[in-house]
C-alpha cells in the first residue's frame, strides 16, 4: 500500500526542509526521502495515493482528505500530474499553509497533518500530505462523508456511513465501572422500588428471599460488572441508583450547573448559581425546584396571565410562566443525552427573564446536518442508551406528562405562542424554551 510505503521507517536520505508535524508538535517527525517519494509517484494513483498538480480548490481537497481518512489513510502529493511527471509547485510554503487551514477548518474532526516539502535535484519542489486516521469517521464542513475506492473518491452511502460509525464507536462511558464505587454505594430502596413497578411482580419473590443487589445490577439490569474480585456498579448504575453523597464524590463530571441571570443573556448579572450533584432522580428534583423558585409552572396555559413587570425593590423581575411538562421533559432530555465522557464541562441550566436554556456539551463526533433535523422528530443520537431507557421509564419515578422532544416542542409552542429553539454544533447542543 502506498501509505505504508510512504510512512516506512527505512528512510536514509534526509529532506531539505523540516516537516510541519515536527514544527507544530515539537517532536521529531518521520521524513520522506527524495528516492522514496519518486518511487511512490512512479507507482501511480491507487487507494492510498492521490496526485495533484496544484492546490486550487480547497473544497475538493477537503473531500480528498476526508475520503483518504475514512479509507484508512493515505498520501496526497502536490506538484505531480496525472502522467506522473513532476512539475513542482511555485510556492510550497503557501501550499503548506493552505493544507493546514483545510485540515483544521474544512475537515471534521480536525486533523493534525504530516506535511513534507521536498526539494528535488532539478530545483523543483513538491509537497506531500500524509493522512493518518485516529478519529474516524471524518466529514467535510457541510456534513458529507467520502470514501476512496481505487484511485477515485465518492460520497459514502447511508449504509457505509452507518458502518463507519459502528466501527468507530468506542466503549460507552456509561458502561465503564465507576472508579472507587461499591455495591454499598447503591440506594437499595430506590432500586427495589424501580423493580417492583414492572408488570407481573417479577422481582417481588426475589426481594423476599434476599436476592443480592449485586446480582440484580449485574445479571438483570446490566448496570454492574465484575472486576474478578467484586461486583462494581457502572457509571450508569451509580447515576441511576447511587446514594446522592457518593455519586457527587465518585462522578463529579455528572453534575449540572444551574444559574439565574438578571436578564435574557449569559452576559447578564448572576443572581444565583448552584452546582447540583447526586443521583439523576435527585438532580431532576433539585433542578425542578430551582426553576420553580423563579418561574411559575402550569399544567396548561392560564386564561389570564399576569404581565411580567419588574418589582422596584428586587433585582429579579416578575415570574415567567411555563408549561410544567415542557420543563420536566427538557430536564430529562438534558440528563439522558449528555456526554458523560467530557471532563470539566457540566450540563447547564440557564434561567433568564423570559426563557429557559438547557445546554449539553458534546464531542466533535456530535451532530451531522441530518441529525440536527432528525432529533426534532424523536430520533436523538443516544450516547447513553441504558441510562436513557431507565431514566425515561415510568418505573424510575420521574413525573412526566410529555414523552420525547417532538411533544416538548409542540406543547412549548402551544403554551408560549413561540417556537422553542434548538441549536446544535459539533461540540454543543442547546434547547431554549420561552415563557409568557
List, for residues 72-97, the tens digit of each pLDDT value. Answer: 888 899 988 877 888 888 898 999 99
Q: How far is CA 383 from CA 278, 371, 388, in A?
A: 20, 13, 9
Report residue 161's pLDDT band, with 50, 70 and 90 as the boundaries: confident
Give, to the nearest 10 degrees, the angle between helix 405-416 and helix 324-336. 150
Instruction: Tell me how far CA of residue 259 lies from CA of 130, 164, 407, in angstroms.
Output: 46, 39, 26
Cα(266)–Cα(139) distance, rounded to whole angstroms? 32
The answer on pLDDT for 204 being more than 80 is no
Name the most confidently modeled range: 78-82, 291-295, 426-430.
Answer: 291-295
**134's grid cell:** 485516529
Question: 401 near 325, Cβ under 8 Å?
Answer: yes
- CATH 3.30.565.60 in the chain, residue ranges: 251-434
pLDDT of 371 above 70:
no
Q: Within 13 Å and on the Cβ side, how many CA atoms surround 94? A: 7
The arithmetic mean of pLDDT across residues 289-295, rounded, is 95
Residue 18 has pLDDT above 90, yes or no: no
pLDDT of residue 108: 86
Which are the contacts of 115, defined by CB distance < 8 A and separation ≥ 6?
A: 19, 20, 21, 96, 99, 100, 127, 128, 129, 130
pLDDT digits (tens, 9 = 90+) for 220-266: 899 999 866 789 999 999 999 999 999 989 998 889 999 999 999 99
SS3 of residue 434 by DSSP: strand
Residues with Cβ within 8 Å of residue 322, at least 6 apart in sequence = 291, 295, 296, 297, 298, 356, 415, 416, 433, 435
Q: What is the pLDDT of residue 339?
A: 82
Of residues 107 and 313, more confidence is placed in 107
Mean of the per-residue pLDDT values of the chain: 81
Q: What's the confidence (pLDDT) of residue 10?
A: 36
Contact 103, 132 (CB under 8 A): no
Q: Are 240 and 390 in contact (CB under 8 A)?
A: yes
190: pLDDT strictly greater than 50: yes
Please give the Cα distance from 201 to 206 (Å, whole number).
10
pLDDT of residue 15: 41
Q: Is the pLDDT of residue 12 over 70?
A: no
**CA-based nearest residue to 61, from 106, 104, 17:** 106
Query: 332 and 400 in contact (C-beta within 8 Å)?
Result: yes
- Residue 330 or 123, more confident: 330
pTM over 0.85: no
> What are the start-end ranges of the E strands in 57-200?
74-78, 107-108, 114-119, 125-131, 139-140, 146-149, 152-155
Topology classification of domain 251-434: Heat Shock Protein 90 (3.30.565)
* d(C-alpha 262, C-alpha 317), whole Å: 8
Helix (H, G, I), strand (E, B) or coil at 152: strand
Tell me the average pLDDT across 358-383. 63
Quote the pLDDT of residue 379. 64
Q: Which of 115-124, 204-213, 300-309, 348-357 has the highest mean pLDDT?
A: 348-357
Per-residue pLDDT band for 432 (boundaries 50, 70, 90) equals: very high
Longest dimension (CA), the chain: 87
Instruction: Give the Cβ contact number of residue 118 at 10 Å.
Output: 25
CATH of domain 2-168: 3.30.950.30
Higher pLDDT, 167 or 76: 76
* Whole-number pLDDT of residue 207: 52
Residue 71, pLDDT above cutoff 90? no
Least confident stretch, 47-56, 205-214, 328-337, 348-357:
205-214
Instruction: Compute how many other C-beta atoms are within 10 angstroms of the C-beta atom of residue 309.
Output: 8
Q: What distance in Å separates the CA atoms of residue 68 and residue 376, rounded to the nearest whole number?
A: 33
Q: How confident is the model at residue 337 (pLDDT cuts 50, 70, 90)?
A: confident
As annotated, the residues of the chain forming the CATH 3.30.950.30 domain(s) are 2-168
- Give the model's pLDDT for residue 424: 75
pLDDT, position 45: 80
| Residues 405-423, mean pLDDT to the nearest whole number | 93
Amino acid at each position: 500500500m502506498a501509505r505504508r510505503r510512504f510512512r516506512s521507517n527505512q528512510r536514509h536520505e534526509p529532506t531539505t526542509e523540516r516537516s510541519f508535524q515536527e514544527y507544530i508538535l515539537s517532536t521529531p517527525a518521520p521524513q520522506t526521502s527524495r528516492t522514496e517519494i519518486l518511487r511512490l509517484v512512479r507507482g501511480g494513483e491507487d487507494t492510498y495515493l492521490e496526485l495533484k498538480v496544484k492546490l486550487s480548490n480547497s473544497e475538493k481537497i477537503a473531500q480528498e482528505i476526508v475520503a483518504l481518512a475514512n479509507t484508512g489513510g493515505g498520501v496526497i502529493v502536490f506538484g505531480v500530474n496525472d502522467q506522473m511527471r513532476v512539475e513542482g509547485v511555485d510556492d510550497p510554503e503557501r501550499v503548506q499553509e493552505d493544507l493546514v487551514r483545510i485540515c483544521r477548518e474544512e475537515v471534521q474532526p480536525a486533523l493534525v497533518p504530516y506535511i513534507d516539502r521536498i526539494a528535488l535535484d532539478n530545483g523543483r519542489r513538491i509537497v506531500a500530505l500524509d493522512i493518518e486516521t485516529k478519529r474516524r469517521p471524518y466529514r467535510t464542513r457541510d456534513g458529507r462523508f467520502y470514501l476512496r475506492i481505487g484511485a477515485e473518491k465518492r460520497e459514502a452511502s447511508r449504509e457505509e456511513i452507518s458502518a463507519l460509525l459502528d466501527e468507530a464507536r468506542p466503549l460507552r462511558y456509561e458502561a465503564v465501572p465507576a472508579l472507587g464505587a461499591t455495591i454499598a454505594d447503591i440506594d437499595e430502596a430506590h432500586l427495589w422500588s424501580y423493580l417492583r413497578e414492572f408488570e407481573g411482580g417479577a422481582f417481588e419473590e426475589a426481594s423476599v428471599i434476599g436476592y443480592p443487589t449485586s446480582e440484580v445490577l449485574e445479571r438483570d439490569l446490566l448496570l454492574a460488572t465484575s472486576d474478578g474480585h467484586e461486583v462494581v456498579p457502572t457509571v450508569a448504575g451509580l447515576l441511576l441508583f447511587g446514594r446522592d453523597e457518593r455519586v457527587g464524590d465518585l462522578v463529579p463530571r455528572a453534575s449540572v450547573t444551574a444559574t439565574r441571570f438578571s436578564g435574557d443573556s449569559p452576559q447578564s448579572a448572576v443572581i444565583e448559581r448552584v452546582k447540583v450533584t447526586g443521583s439523576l432522580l435527585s438532580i431532576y428534583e433539585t433542578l425542578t425546584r430551582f426553576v420553580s423558585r423563579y418561574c411559575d409552572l402550569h399544567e396548561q396555559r392560564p386564561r389570564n396571565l399576569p404581565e411580567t413587570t419588574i418589582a422596584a425593590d428586587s433585582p429579579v423581575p416578575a415570574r415567567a410562566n411555563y408549561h410544567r411538562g415542557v420543563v420536566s421533559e427538557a430536564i430529562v432530555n438534558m440528563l439522558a443525552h449528555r456526554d458523560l465522557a467530557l471532563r470539566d464541562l457540566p450540563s447547564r441550566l440557564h434561567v433568564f427573564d423570559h426563557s429557559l436554556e438547557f445546554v449539553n456539551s458534546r464531542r466533535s463526533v456530535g451532530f451531522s446536518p441530518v441529525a440536527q433535523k432528525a432529533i426534532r422528530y424523536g430520533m436523538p443520537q443516544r450516547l447513553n442508551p441504558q441510562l436513557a431507557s431507565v431514566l425515561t421509564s415510568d418505573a424510575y419515578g420521574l413525573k412526566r406528562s410529555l414523552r420525547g422532544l417532538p411533544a416538548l416542542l409542540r406543547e412549548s409552542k402551544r403554551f408560549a405562542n413561540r417556537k422553542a429553539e434548538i441549536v446544535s454544533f459539533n461540540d454543543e447542543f442547546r434547547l431554549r424554551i420561552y415563557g409568557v
